[in-house]
Amino acid sequence: MRVGLIVDSACDLPYEFRRQHDLFVLPVTARIDHQTYVDEHDPVRTQEFYQSGLLQKGHHAETEAFSVQQIHDLFMEKIVNQFDIAICETVTRSRSLIYQNASEAMNSVMAQYREVRNAAGVPGSFSMRVVDSKQIFAGQGLLAAHTLRLIDQKLSKNALRNEIERFSDNIYTCVIPRDLHYIRERARRRGDKSVSAVVAFLGKALNITPVIFGQGVEGQPVAKTRSFDVAVEKVMNYATGRVQAGLLTPYVSLSCGMTWTEIEELPGLNRLRDACEQQGIELLLSQMGITSSIYLGPGSVCLALGAEPHRFSDFQ
C-alpha cells in the first residue's frame, strides 16, 4: 500500500527533508507589486526572494490559494496514480482557503479517479483525506514530519487520521514577528482583526518585539522585548529547555524569514543545536517559504515542537 503525504506552500521544512521523503507540495500563488509567482518551495527561488528585498517597505504582497480546479488537476495528474492513500495536510483553515479548496477538489477526484488509474494500468482503489493541520508554517512542518513517522508504522487509515489529529493538539508554536506594523497591514487587507492597530503602533514606536506562544494558531504574547535578539534568545532558551525535558516526537521545527547568513547568526541557535544532538532530536531548520514570509513579514521567526502541556515561562 503506497501512502503519500501532501503539504502546501505554507508548510516550512528543509528542502532536503522534503526531497528525501518525497513530499508533494501544493503550490500557493504569490502576487508582489502586480507580478505573479508560484511558490513551490524551490530553495533557489526562495533564496533569490530574500536577497531581492521584495518584502521591504513599499512593496505590496498578497497570497492566494490555488483554485478548486487547479488543485483537482494536480491531484489527478500527480497523486492518483502515484499513491493508493493520500493525506493532504493544509495550513489552518482559519487563515486560508486552501483547506476548503482542497476538500472540494478531493471530492471531485474521488468521483473520477478510477478512469485515470485504469487508463494508466494502476490496479486497486484510491482514497484520500484532507486534514486541517490547525497549524501555521513551522508548526505545519512539525506535523508533517511526525505524520511521516506514523506512516512508517503502517497504521490503518482510521488510526493514522486519529493519531494526526491527536498530535496536532500537542504542538506548541513560538512566533517572533519582526515588524508588527507589517502584520497589521496584512491582516487589515485580509479582514483579520487579530492584531490591533494599538499593538502595531506600540511595536513600531517603541521598538517592541513580542514573543507569541501557544498551541497552534491560538497564541498570545508571553514576552515583550526592546530587541529582536533578546526575543530570539528567549525562544531559544525555551526550546532548549523543552528539548531537555522531553518531547512527544523527535523533531523541533524552526523556520526563519531571512538569508542563511542571518539565520546562522541567530543568538542561541547553536545551543539549541547542541541540545537537540544530545537528546537525539532532529532540528528541522529552514528558510521561511515565500508564502510564510509574506504572511509574517521578512525577518520573522517561527518555532514549533510537540510536548505535554506546559507554559513558556516554565523554561525561562
For residues 177 and 164, state if they share a domain: no
For residues 12 and 78, state if they share a domain: yes
Instruction: Give tens-digit pLDDT for 184-231.
Output: 776 666 665 555 555 666 666 667 888 999 998 778 889 989 899 999
pLDDT at position 143: 98
pLDDT at position 96: 87
d(CA 135, CA 8): 12
CA atoms within 13 A on the CB side of 286: 35
For residues 162 and 199, state if they share a domain: no
| Count of CB atoms situated within 10 Å of the CB of 115 | 10
Confidence of residue 51 (pLDDT cuts 50, 70, 90): confident
Better pLDDT: 290 or 123: 123
Confidence of residue 147 (pLDDT cuts 50, 70, 90): very high
Spell out the residues 6+ positions from residue 178 whose beta carbon is closer than 8 angstroms to its own: 209, 228, 257, 296, 297, 298, 299, 300
User: Does position 14 have pLDDT exceeding 60, yes or no?
Assistant: yes
| Count of CB atoms situated within 10 Å of the CB of 240 | 20
- Domain end: 144, 168, 192, which one? 168
Instruction: Give tens-digit pLDDT for 17-50.
Output: 999 999 999 998 888 777 777 777 788 877 777 7
- Residue count of the chain, please give it: 316
Q: What is the mean pLDDT of residues 54-58?
A: 58
Phi, psi for 58 (deg, rounded to 5): 100, -10
Max avg pLDDT among 146-150, 157-161, 204-208: 146-150
pLDDT at position 58: 47
All three cell numbers of 105, joined, read 477538489
The pLDDT > 70 percentage for the chain reads 91
For residues 189 and 143, state if they share a domain: no
Spell out the residues 6+ positions from residue 211 whose beta carbon is closer than 8 angstroms to its own: 174, 175, 176, 221, 222, 223, 224, 225, 231, 234, 235, 312
Question: How high is the mean pLDDT of the chain?
Answer: 89
- Domain end: 118, 135, 168, which one? 168
Can you give the residue range of the structural domain that contains 216?
A: 171-315
d(CA 164, CA 130): 12
Phi, psi for 195 (deg, rounded to 5): -115, 115
User: Does position 92 have pLDDT exceeding 60, yes or no?
Assistant: yes
Residue 182 maps to which CATH number?
3.30.1180.10
- Domain end: 168, 183, 200, which one? 168
Q: What is the mean pLDDT of residues 128-139?
A: 95
For residues 162 and 15, state if they share a domain: yes
User: Does position 234 have pLDDT exceeding 90, yes or no?
Assistant: yes
Residue 86 maps to which CATH number?
3.40.50.10170
For residues 153 and 269, state if they share a domain: no
